[in-house]
Each structure stands twice: as C-alpha cells, then as structure tokens.
Amino acid sequence: MDEIDIDARVTGERTVIDVTGTRDVAVVVRSASGERIYLPPAGFDDPVSDSPYTSPYQGGSGIDGEESPYGGGSGSTRGVIETADGFRITHPETATEFDVYRGDDE
C-alpha cells in the first residue's frame, strides 16, 4: 500500500482536511450539527497528469481556505476540491472527530 498523508486544521468556524498521496479514501466528519461524509472528487481514479483541466497555475484554496495562486484545484463538489496529489475538504464547522476510510487495493 502507498503512503497517504492527512493534515487537518480546525478553527472556531471551520475544518480543513488535506488528503495527499491518494484519492481513494472517504472522510466522515462529525461536528455539532451531525455527521457528513465526503467522497473523493468524481473520476478520482483517473491520473491527474492526464487531465486537461488540472494545472499547477490554476488558483485554489490555500492554508485555512484562503485563496492561493498555487492550488491546482479544478473544481469543487460539496466541500471537496481536487488537488494535484489528492483533495481538500472544507467543512463549515469545527469538527469534533473525523475518520478516514481507505479503499481496498485488491
């Protein structure tokens, strides 16, 4: 299995979770309003480098969701933004807990 990295930043207003190394995971975030499941961007199994819509020069969200010219994101689906080597989740509340579920490599 390949190594993946999960980086989470929790503030009083939101939670930002970066997943790198794969797009083959689902993330369940729990917060005051309940539970929300975030799935990888559509077409997550397509190689990123073969996509005509992904460019390292496209803007995307930077640290804590601020705009950055280096994001490389190609679009968003309900709080999920594709990145060059994974994806970013922006949850609109402070998370109390989150779980990551990885797909089978079989």
- Could you report the per-residue pLDDT of 15-39, keeping only the tens digit for each? 999 999 988 899 999 999 999 999 8
b/e for 61-89, b at 16 or more Cβ within 10 A? Answer: beeebeeeeebbbbeeeebbbbbbebbbb
- 13 falls within a domain: yes
- 20 falls within a domain: yes
What pTM was estimated for this model as a whole? 0.67
How many domains are there within the chain? 1
SS in 3 state form for 71-87? CCCCCEECCEEEECCEE
- 65 falls within a domain: no
- Could you report the per-residue pLDDT of 39-77, keeping only the tens digit for each? 887 765 555 444 444 444 444 444 444 544 444 443 445
Domain that holds residue 34: 1-44+74-105
